[in-house]
Amino acid sequence: MGAKCLLLYHPPHGGTPTTADAERVVAALQRVCAVHHSRQPERQLEARCSQLSQAPARDMTTVTHPRSLADLWLLQLPRDAPDRVFLCNLKARQVVEADASIATALLDKRLEYRTKANLLLASRTWQLGDRRGSDASVKLLQLQVHGQAPLAIALEVAYHPLGSCSVAEPVLRELAGTLMSALEGTPDAGRRVVRLEVLPPPWDDYAAWLPPEASATHSAALYASMVVAVLRERSQSAIAARKAAGQ
C-alpha cells in the first residue's frame, strides 16, 4: 500500500495536450528519474517515446459515462484490482466499491453507451528507487478516447509502503515539487511555460482525505478527480469560445 497524488499537466498553449507535450513530459521524467552509470531508465523512457504514437497499452482503465446517470461514472482498474468495480460520484468526489449486482448491470450498460463516452487511461510506471527508507515511483498517465490524441496527461506520484500520513506528505510534496520544477522550467517556442495542478489539493487536507489504507479505491478516487478536472477545463474552454464567437 502507498500514498499517491496526481499532477495534472496543463499545456502552455492551452486546450488539450499534443504529442509534443507528451514528449516534453517524457524529457522531464528522463532528467528526474536518471540514474548515474545506468542506461536502464533512458531505455525505458525511449521505449515510452515510441509508445506515445502507438495504440494504447493493455493495462488500461476504462471509464464509462451512462447517459441516465449524469454524475455517476463506472471505473475499473484492471492492473490494480481486476475483479473490482468502483462507482464515482463526480460532483461529490466520492468513490465506493460497487455491489456485485450493480456492477454487473452497469457493465452490461457499457456496450449501450460505448459510443457516448469511452475513455481509456494508458499508464507506465518508473521506479525512483529508495528514498527515505522507502520506495517512490512516478506513473505517466494519458487519458484519451481510443485511437485519438490524449485529452489529458498526468503524473501519478506514489510513495510506499505507507507508514503514516505525516511521513508520506513531505515525500510526496518533495517529489511533486521536483517534477514541477523539471516541467515548469521548460518553456515552449513561444516562451510560455507549462503548469501542473496537484490533485487532490490542498496538502493540508491530505491526511484527512487519504483512506486508512491507500488501496485501489484511492487510485479510483484520484483518477475520478482527474476526469473531473479535465471535464471542467473543457467546459470552461467551450464557454469562453462561445462568448468570443458572440462578440
Q: Residue range 203-227: average pLDDT?
A: 61
Does residue 189 lie in a domain region?
A: no
Q: What is the pLDDT of residues 194-214, one digit of tens each?
A: 777 777 654 455 555 455 555
25 lies in a domain?
Answer: no
pLDDT digits (tens, 9 = 90+) for 182-194: 777 555 545 556 7
Rounded Cα distance, 168 and 161, in Å:
9
pLDDT per position as a tens digit, 127-176: 665 444 456 777 777 776 655 667 778 888 777 665 555 666 677 777 77
The residue assigned the cell 503548469 is: 195
CA dihedral 181, 32, 24, 202 (to 10 degrees): -40
Asked, for residue 43, whether it belongs to a domain, the answer is no
48: left (phi over 0), alpha (psi -120 to 50) or beta: alpha
Task: Kindly state whether residue 115 falls inside one of the protein's structural domains.
Answer: yes
Distance of CA 151 to the CA centre of its chain: 11
**Residue 62: predicted pLDDT:** 47
Could you tell me if residue 169 is inside a domain? yes
Does residue 96 belong to any structural domain of this protein?
Answer: yes
The whole model's pTM is what? 0.63
CA distances from 44 to 34, 40, 136, 191 (A): 11, 6, 17, 29
- Cis peptide leading into 161, omega within 30 of 0? yes
Contact 97, 220 (CB under 8 A): no
Quick check: is 220 in a domain?
yes
Cis peptide before 202 (omega within 30 of 0): yes
Range of 202's domain? 3-18+54-177+194-246
In a domain, 217, yes or no: yes
Give the pLDDT of residue 215.
Answer: 59
Mean pLDDT, rounded, for 6-32: 77
The structural domain count of the chain equals 1
What pLDDT sits at residue 46?
46
